[in-house]
Amino acid sequence: MSKSSVKILGYGVDGYDFEQALEYAQDNGGQVVTINPEMILAAQKSTEFSQIINDAELVIPDGIGVQIGLQILGHKVKRIPGIEFGYSLLEKYSIAGKRVALVGAKPEVIALAVKNLKDKMPNLNIVYSHDGYFSDDNEIIKGLVESSADLILIALGSPKQEFFISKLKSHMPKSLMVGLGGSFDVWAGVVKRAPKIYQKLGLEWLYRTVKEPQRFKRIFPTLPLFLLKVLKERVSRG
């Protein structure tokens, strides 16, 4: 956790802007958590997950929910969409000729994502990639260690990716590791990101909920509950 962190429901979130966060991550390596309200509520029910978030080298506010929550608590922090953060890191590591690894998503999805990324960044040095449906963590960790990747993007959904990274971290203390949720599906072109206007208004979650109604049950109760808890925190602070 960096020095510029602010607290929300007991969890530190770094107050960097996009460029500062990119720089901090590259300089320090370690685990980057792209936090959202769902994760915070899940962490409140799990000491292990809480510990992982608290031990992360960088926690960035991925969604509008955390941005609004922080505003309610009087902190002006702008959200940093994980997918854009991950993409910018790939561009930087590609330019620097550093080694990159990707783990996550379905086999055909990761294959397509790797192909599309290489088309866009011809110098991208992908030294290891694997789909996200494996049973033996150690086998993947072994592959990653052997690849000596400098940047490792893990997209297994949350909290699976955060637990995996926390395990991997001790084996690769110098690398930078970011949990990226469903980003590979977007890079593969199998899931579309919301149109720009939704992104600008911070309403990507609404677009995705309408497009994938099965997400409704998961997302909808979360945001109001999260904001209610933040309001309570604000009131109790006076």
Amino acid in position 91: E
Write down the least CB distance from residue 95 to ligand UDP, Å.
26
Range 187-216, binding ligand UDP (CB under 6 A):
none
Instruction: Report the candidate in 68, 110, 64 with the shortest Cα–Cα distance to residue 204.
Output: 64
* Under 8 Å between Cβ of 14 and 58: yes
Stretch that binds ligand UDP, among 13-21, 68-76, 122-130, 153-161 (CB under 6 A): 153-161
Q: Does 105 bind ligand UDP (CB under 6 A)?
A: yes
User: How far apart, in whole angstroms, are the C-alpha atoms of residue 133 and residue 75?
Assistant: 39
- Among residues 67, 185, 204, 209, the one that binds ligand UDP under rule CB under 6 A: 185
User: How far apart, in whole angstroms, are the C-alpha atoms of residue 127 and residue 132?
Assistant: 16
Of the pair 147, 161, the CB lying nearest ligand UDP is at 161
Burial 168-199 (b: 16+ CB within 10 A, else e): bbeebeebbbbbbbbbbbbbbeebebbeeebe
Of the pair 98, 177, the CB lying nearest ligand UDP is at 177
Q: Does 133 bind ligand UDP (CB under 6 A)?
A: yes
Instruction: Report the candidate in 54, 25, 13, 69 with the shortest Cα–Cα distance to residue 228.
Output: 69
The pair of structure tokens assigned to 25 is: 């991550």
User: How far apart, in whole angstroms, are the C-alpha atoms of residue 21 and residue 132?
Assistant: 26
Q: Which residue's CB atom is positioned nearest to ligand UDP?
A: 132
Q: Does 176 bind ligand UDP (CB under 6 A)?
A: no
Collapsing DSSP to helix, strand or coil, 118 comes out as helix
User: How far apart, in whole angstroms, are the C-alpha atoms of residue 71 and residue 17?
Assistant: 15
Q: Does 132 bind ligand UDP (CB under 6 A)?
A: yes
- Among residues 66, 89, 101, 156, the one that binds ligand UDP under rule CB under 6 A: 156
Range 62-91, binding ligand UDP (CB under 6 A):
none
Q: Does 220 bind ligand UDP (CB under 6 A)?
A: no
Q: Does 99 bind ligand UDP (CB under 6 A)?
A: no
Write down the least CB distance from residue 41 to ligand UDP, Å.
13
Range 106-125, binding ligand UDP (CB under 6 A):
106
- Among residues 13, 155, 176, 223, the one that binds ligand UDP under rule CB under 6 A: 155
Q: In the complex, which residues of this chain contact ligand UDP (CB under 6 A)?
A: 104-106, 132-133, 155-158, 160, 181-182, 184-185
